[in-house]
Structure 1
Amino acid sequence: MIIKERELSRHIRPSDYPELAVRMCDISTGAGADGMIVVRQDPALEMVFFNCDGSRAPMCGNGIRCFAHFCKREGIATEDSYSVKTLAGDMVVEVTCREPFRVKINMGKPLFSSDDIKVDFKGENYLLRNLTLDDGTDIEINSLFMGTIHTVVFMDNLESADIPKLGEEICNHPVFKEKTNVNFVKVVDHETLEVKTYERGVGMTLACGTGACASVLVANMQGRCGKQADVLLKLGKLSISIAEDGNVYMEGPSVRILDGKFY
């Protein structure tokens, strides 16, 4: 769900955006969405993203593709390549196809320090850990910052595992001071991953762009896939590539499903 800040400013203050996000994203009394995006144009083009629970997230991979599509359709961004300001840094957008709309985003480089992930682990550049669950079992996790905080869990039984329950428990585990997105990954082959994501502030989601990037990054670091891989999601596919300089690129579609007014 995307709104121009210039239109919002006539009716609502920025401090009220979190409450507005909750109301607009409500599936029963609002439009129903995982998040709300505010298009800020002054002093620079910026994507301001809120989860459906009203919390602000630094970045959203799916959101920035929708943001780019909206800006192209509304004439806000007339070039096919431009920069978008986010809390996770400036993201470079490149429109690769106008109809059907596809866009490639330079998502920047991953971060691996404990400070970036907001955990108490010390002295490690790459966080591969065993996490003890409520039932006493240990699960291997891989955590990093890729646009936002992500944890990657490799599984062979995505179909039979209770992903929503596991995702909620890992997301809210006390080791993560600011919670974490949780990506459950099945390696299909060396060029293909299947991913299901539990998002902090949202719950289970149909797709997560930053999560797809995080999943390919960790899989590549562990030799499970190459530097370029397709990520299969519930409603489609994203193409993720890791450049020699460490920057991660995400390419995928955006589809407009409705325009409307919220009262």
Structure 2
Amino acid sequence: MRFEFIKCHGSGNDFPLIDARGLTLPDAQWAAIARALADRAGPVGGDGLLLLVDGRDEAPFGQRMFNPDGSEAETCLNGLRCVARAGFDATGLDAALVGLPKSDAWAARVADLAPGVATIATRVTSVSANARDVGLTVGDRFVDAPIPGLPSERRFTALTMPNPHLIAFVDVVDEAELVALGDWCESAPPLIPGRANVSFVAMVDDGSLFVRTYERGVGLTDSCGSAMAASVHAAALTGRIGWDVEVVIRNRGGLVRGRTKVDPSVEIAGNATFEYRAAVDFAPDTGQLGAVTLIEDRAVERDAWRSLLTASRN
């Protein structure tokens, strides 16, 4: 079985992306492909596998995303920008609804963050602070409040984007504490059997947010798009920023622009960088990858993103 794929990233959240329109592989096979392609010890590596899939209803195309452990996520907003760009390239559109497994999201090409940095804006309206929507088995709603049964005394805001997030605002991000709590949630405890993404968020002096996330099915990650969206919405819910105000969200992988509204919705604008296009053989019987064959290098795009990162950190 041979696949072409694009190695891409949104705000440093990197993925192999396959155009799977018209393909009818069973989910177990996609899960196996994700485990092989996204394996950091393998020839490609990534924070998961993105699929550009056929659309439905008013959405001309859709997105699926499989984590490196083979589980499927409801969405991935950093990945969504990359999938939307691939969908726009394939269809000739510049804006469209994108079908997600449990919802839809709007996406559009917008002005570049910097010269040569392809930029896509996404808007998610499937936002909820209902504890049951988040997957919690206690309470009705948690906004800057302790969550009974969680092994942390911190105050959290629980949200879906539509995947589940627990957001705590901190003065300083303690990565060891974040990993310990993320590992606990990853064990699918009775409090949240579907697991959750956990983020510590620090307010920066320049008014931006710094987000560090333990991503469900991934672990500690340099960037998680839905966590950045959840953090912006949580900051507005708790009065830390205003509604409908643009804010910069930073993480280890880079930065995006974000804005949230009471309706509720969250809009994120960030890069969708294509690093290279390649092909690889996959053996379904063993789950092993063959050699990767480079088809097209996108060095100019990689360099443009690195220049933006350097400028943003100076």
Q: Normalized against structure 1, the TM-score is what?
A: 0.88
Distance 1:166 1:115, change over 3 A: closer
Q: Single out whichever of 95-104 and 56-65 deviates more from structure 2.
A: 95-104
Tell me how far 1:165 sits from its aligned partner: 2.8
Q: 1:219 maps to what in 2? A: 235
Answer 1 or 2: higher relative contact order, Cα 8 Å, separation at least 6.
2
Alignment length, in residue pairs? 257
Q: 1:26 maps to what in 2? A: 39
Pairwise mapping of residues 109-188 of structure 1 onto structure 2 (< 5 A)? Answer: 109-124=126-141, 126=143, 128-130=145-147, 138-158=153-173, 162-172=177-187, 174=189, 175-188=191-204
Residue 100 of structure 1: SS of its match in structure 2?
A: coil
List structure 1 runs of 4+ shifted beyond 6 angstroms. Answer: none
Q: 1:37 maps to what in 2? A: 50
Q: 1:239 maps to what in 2? A: 257
Tell me how far 1:105 sits from its aligned partner: 0.7
Q: Percent identity?
A: 25
Q: Deviations over 1:140-180 (max 9, x none)?
A: 22211112100001111226754333332344462111010
Pairwise mapping of residues 98-113 of structure 1 onto structure 2 (< 5 A)? Answer: 99-113=116-130
CA–CA distance in 1 between the matches of 2:148 and 2:272?
A: 35
Q: Single out whichever of 119-128 and 81-90 deviates more from structure 2.
A: 119-128
Tell me how far 1:27 sits from its aligned partner: 1.4
Q: 1:87 maps to what in 2? A: 101
Tell me if the contact between 1:127 and 1:144 (Cα under 8 Å) persists in the aligned partners: no
Tell me how far 1:251 sits from its aligned partner: 0.6
Q: 1:230 maps to what in 2? A: 248
Residue 105 of structure 1: SS of its match in structure 2?
A: strand
> Once superposed, what is the RMSD of the aligned Cα atoms?
2.3
Q: Which runs of 5+ in 1 are unaligned?
A: none
CA–CA distance in 1 between the matches of 2:213 and 2:161?
A: 14
Distance 1:114 1:158, change over 3 A: closer
CA–CA distance in 1 between the matches of 2:225 and 2:139?
A: 28
Tell me if the contact between 1:93 and 1:106 (Cα under 8 Å) persists in the aligned partners: yes
Residue 274 of structure 2: SS of its match in structure 1?
A: coil
Tell me how far 1:69 sits from its aligned partner: 2.3
CA–CA distance in 1 between the matches of 2:207 and 2:110?
A: 21
Residue 261 of structure 1: SS of its match in structure 2?
A: strand
CA–CA distance in 1 between the matches of 2:230 and 2:68?
A: 22
Tell me if the contact between 1:213 and 1:240 (Cα under 8 Å) persists in the aligned partners: yes
Tell me how far 1:83 sits from its aligned partner: 1.0
Q: Normalized against structure 2, the TM-score is what?
A: 0.74
Q: 2:13 maps to what in 1? A: none
CA–CA distance in 2 between the matches of 1:160 and 1:110?
A: 27
Residue 178 of structure 1: SS of its match in structure 2?
A: coil
Residue 65 of structure 1: SS of its match in structure 2?
A: helix
CA–CA distance in 2 between the matches of 1:110 and 1:190?
A: 27
Pairwise mapping of residues 191-202 of structure 1 onto structure 2 (< 5 A)? Answer: 191-202=207-218
CA–CA distance in 2 between the matches of 1:191 and 1:245?
A: 23
